[in-house]
């Protein structure tokens, strides 16, 4: 007998962390709590239909290319959060990275050539191991209830490489050749066909 396998459903929950989704978080998005509750309801309502849950978790070191402490001006001051930094400014020495200027210049040129995002210095956020880094409780609680019935959810960290920003869920904005954590995410790729 040929058993017809049904399609599997993955629920991918992107960056539902305190710093983005809880009031007081360093990059809090107003209204995010309601989204959190909506997603929590989806987990409960579609309990049986969900085969797998993956949370992505934005994860940064303090000195990250997108955090103020990575940069100095001629006076030794770091930029204010939300400052845009362009490759020309680095070439002129207006903004100086704390390390590897050649790489950083090349990174910014790549980003500008893609034309998708400017390079923005964010407030420090999702610092590894901090409260801001943690996933928001309503979702973890519902995912745990779902998992108690014999399933497993996964957490995939992104952004840990301090030399490249990582907006997408699946790979860094400018992947680095010898840094697999910046390339297409292997955890999700191994289980699912991921369209990119
Ligand atoms: Zn980030």
- pLDDT tens, 43-102? 999 999 999 999 999 999 999 999 999 999 999 999 999 999 999 999 999 999 999 999
Q: Which residues, at least 6 apart from 162, have a Cβ–Cβ distance to it below 8 Å?
A: 60, 61, 63, 64, 65, 70
CA–centroid distance, 6 to ligand 1, in Å, is 36
Asked if 73 and 61 count as a contact pair (C-beta separation under 8 A), the reply is no
Cα 167 to ligand 1 centre (Å) = 7
pLDDT of amino acid 166: 72
Do β-strands 96-97 and 71-72 pair in parallel, antiparallel, or remain unpaired?
Answer: antiparallel
- CA count, 13 A, side-chain hemisphere, 95: 25
Range from 40-49, 100-109, 119-128, 160-169 carrying the lowest mean pLDDT? 160-169
131 vs 182 pLDDT, higher one: 131
Distance 34 CA to ligand 1 centre (A): 21
CA of 108 to the centre of ligand 1 (A): 16
Strands 153-158 and 52-58: parallel
> What spacing in Å lies between the alpha carbon of 84 and ligand 1's midpoint?
15
> Which residues lie near ion ligand 1 (Cβ < 5 Å)?
58, 159
Distance 15 CA to ligand 1 centre (A): 9
Distance 1 CA to ligand 1 centre (A): 50
* pLDDT value of position 93: 96
Residue 72 CA to ligand 1 centre (angstroms): 20
Q: How far is the CA of 37 from the centre of ligand 1 (A)?
A: 22
């Amino acid at each position: 007998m040929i058993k017809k396998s049904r399609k599997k459903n993955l629920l991918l929950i992107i960056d539902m962390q305190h710093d983005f989704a809880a009031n007081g978080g360093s990059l809090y998005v107003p209204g995010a709590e309601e989204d959190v509750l909506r997603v929590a309801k989806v987990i409960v309502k579609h309990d049986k239909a969900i085969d797998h849950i993956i949370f992505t978790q934005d994860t940064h070191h303090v000195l990250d290319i997108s955090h103020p402490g990575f940069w100095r001006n001629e006076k030794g001051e770091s930029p204010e959060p939300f400052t845009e930094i362009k490759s020309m400014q680095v070439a002129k020495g207006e903004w100086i990275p704390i390390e590897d200027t050649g790489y950083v210049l090349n990174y910014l040129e790549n980003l500008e050539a893609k034309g998708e995002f400017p390079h923005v210095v964010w407030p420090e956020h999702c610092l590894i191991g901090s409260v801001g880094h943690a996933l928001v409780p309503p979702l973890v609680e519902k995912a745990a209830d779902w998992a108690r019935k014999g399933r497993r959810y996964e957490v995939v960290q992104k952004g840990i490489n301090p030399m490249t920003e990582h907006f997408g869920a699946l790979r860094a904005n400018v992947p680095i050749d010898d840094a697999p954590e910046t390339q297409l995410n292997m955890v999700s790729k191994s289980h699912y066909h991921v369209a990119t």
